[in-house]
Structure formats: structure tokens, C-alpha cells
Amino acid sequence: MIDAFVEGVRSITQVCHLVILAPVGLMVVAARGRWTAVAGAIAGVVLGGWIFAANWFGPITDSELRVSAVFVIVDGVVLGVPRLLGRNRSTWRGRIGSTLQSGGGTASVCGLVGVVVVQWWRPCVGTELGSILTAAPGDPWGELLPTMGFMLGISTPLMVLGSIYAVWSPSTPVARRLGWVGAAGVCVLAVSVVAGQHGEIVSRLFEWSQ
């Protein structure tokens, strides 16, 4: 697990991991950097990484890719622009908005986005990750700890992002504006996936990583 974690940290510089880190990091920003969002996002990336490595559901199809991107768009908007669901808390829409904006709701939404986005991943394979991807489909529980270690390693930027918010403690207006920016960024990335640009994005990232 430690070796896998170290390789994960070292591989952060490989831009192919931006397929995960960019949308998940923007979701944390959309959620205004709350620690529950950071914790949920990291947990989602770790769980999603294990699902991906173990190949539980097989490769993602184009249709599933687009549907999952629409899901990410909805979540980004809901977290980044809470007024859409929170204007009147006595209505069903307001109650849903309040639930999603709670600590548990924010963690759950960011976690689900993390799980989904990892399935878009086309990893740059190193020694430890290559071993995990080879062994995990036949022995998913045996590769659980190494997979967790690697995914925690590449999640280090999310931990740093959460720490920045914790130390900085931006004012409510600033955090709200950053939330709008995060939601907009999530939507742009997800819309590009819906438009069928995922393969092009991945190919360009691989080119830049060479």
C-alpha cells in the first residue's frame, strides 16, 4: 500500500490524471471547499478507483459516459448554485436543496461524482498501478489496500485544496463566487464529454504527458 501511495503521489505530474482531478477538484470548489466535500470527493475517488481496477462493470460505453456526464453537470450546478433549490425551504424543492447542502449531502454528492469520474479514467500505468490493474480483476479484495494507496496518492491535490480553504477561510461572498466558477468549470468539462470530446481530451493528455 505504501509503495502504491508513493507512486500515486509521484504520478500526479502525469497530466492523464487530470481526467479525474480536474472535475473532482472543481466540484470541491463548487461546494465552497467545505471539509465534507473534500472528504467525500477523496472517498469517491478511492472507491471509484477500486471499482475501475477490479473492472466490476466492464469498460464504460459511450452512452454511459454521456449519461454520467449529465449527472456530473446536475451535481455541479446543485452544489455551486444552491439558490436554485433553496429559495423556499418549505417546498419539496427547498427541502431537497437543504439536504444536499448539508454536510452529509455535500459529502455524498462529491463522493458520487468522484466514483463516476474515475470511470472516465485512462491511466498512465506505472509499476505499482500496472500490477494492481493486472491482479485486481481476479482478486479485487486482495488488491483493495494497494488500490486505496494509489488513489489516495493521486488525491493529494484534493487534500491540498481542502487545506488551502481551511487556512484561507474565504468570506461567504468570495466562497460563493468561487462556487459559481467551480460549477461553471464542471459544466464545461462535462458538456465536452456529452459532446463526444472525451476521446480527444484523453488523447491530448496522453500527448502532453510524453
Structure confidence by residue, pLDDT tens digits, 64-105: 889 999 999 988 888 888 777 665 566 766 677 677 777 888
> Average pLDDT in the 10-15 region?
82
Mean pLDDT estimate for the chain: 86
CA distance 140 to 57: 13
pLDDT of residue 27: 94
pLDDT of 184: 93
pLDDT digits (tens, 9 = 90+) for 21-72: 999 999 999 999 999 999 999 999 999 999 999 998 888 888 888 999 999 9
Q: Which residues contact 164 (CB under 8 A, 6 or more apart)?
A: 33
Cell of 190: 462535462
DSSP for the chain? -HHHHHHHHHGGGSGGGHHHHHHHHHHHHHTTT-HHHHHHHHHHHHHHHHHHHHTSS-SPPHHHHHHHHHHHHHHHHHHH-THHHHS-TTSHHHHHHHHHHSHHHHHHHHHHHHHHHHTT------HHHHHHHHHTTT-TTTTHHHHHHHHHHHTHHHHHHHHHHHHH---HHHHHHHHHHHHHHHHHHHHHHHTT-HHHHHHHHHHHH-
